[in-house]
A and B are shown apart, each in its own frame.
Chain A
């Protein structure tokens, strides 16, 4: 069964840090580009960033709005992807999802069509 499970969310004060984890199963993790998407209460989703697979240098890209505060990493031996969030602000309050793109045969839509999603983990930034 294909599954993504996020963890690590919780309540944090402004200026604090938090690391989210996403464990995967049922996907060929070594080939997968993994994405983080967040969704503030009552709002549309917001792309946070993405990490490519190891063969592509595990290159990362991030939303411009984050201003360098977040970073994504991966551990292929554990089939896990992480989101390190620093200098957190109240506007970072959201459900954070990890996601993977749709693959049709050998053609994968890593950056434009997210077929596999976790259940999300809630992050609340408040004093």
Chain B
């Protein structure tokens, strides 16, 4: 069982928006602004999409945005495109021996 909780699936039509939640605790998401989001296509390594809650690495489209409130972080993908269909994982720095915790993943389907 993953430390961070994500819904198993989300979907939207092309051009629409989808928002994925990621719920942690006061020891991880609630305490730190070091929340990241990763996109993973089948058979591939994860790709960093968001860091520090809402920052995008170079090359990541601005259709991807992040936010946080309390112990819950969110990723929004606006203007859905076919290539956005993938698994998305959240992660957070944590105040425990295990320094980084991940979510179980959300499969985004573009209808």
Q: Write the residues of chain A forming the contact surface with B, with a CB cutoff of 8 angstroms.
A: 35, 43-47, 50, 61-65, 97, 102, 109, 111-115, 117-120
- 7 A-B pairs closest in CB distance: A113-B51, A112-B34, A117-B45, A47-B100, A44-B104, A64-B97, A112-B93
Shortest beta-carbon distance, A1 to chain B, in Å?
15
Judge whether A115 and B57 touch: CB under 8 Å: yes
A43 x B91 contact (CB < 8 A): no
- The CA-CA distance from A46 to B100 in the complex, in Å, is 8
Note all chain B residues with C-beta closer than 8 A to A111: 34, 93, 99-100
> In the complex, what residue of chain B is closest to A45 when comparing beta carbons?
B102
Knowing A102-B51, A114-B46, the reply to whether A47 touches B104 (Cβ < 8 A) is: no
B111 beta carbon closer than 8 Å to chain A? no
A111–B51 alpha-carbon span in the complex (Å): 11
Q: A45-B38, A46-B102 are in contact. List 13 more A-B contacts (CB 8 A).
A: A43-B2, A43-B104, A44-B2, A61-B97, A63-B98, A102-B51, A102-B57, A111-B34, A112-B51, A112-B92, A113-B51, A114-B38, A118-B45
> Which residues on A sit within 8 Å (CB–CB) of B74?
none
Chain B, interface size: which category?
A: 20 to 34
Complex A-B: 17 CB contacts under 8 Å: A44-B2, A44-B103, A45-B38, A45-B91, A47-B98, A47-B100, A50-B99, A61-B97, A64-B97, A102-B48, A109-B34, A112-B32, A112-B52, A112-B100, A113-B36, A113-B52, A118-B45
Task: Give chain B nearest CB distance to A72 CB in angstroms.
Answer: 13
Inter-chain CA distance A61–B2, complex, in Å, is 19
B24 at the interface (CB under 8 A from A): no
Nearest-neighbor residue (CB-CB) of B90 within chain A: A44
Contacts of B99 in A (CB 8 A): 47, 50, 61, 111
Decide: A112 and B97 in contact? CB cutoff 8 A: no
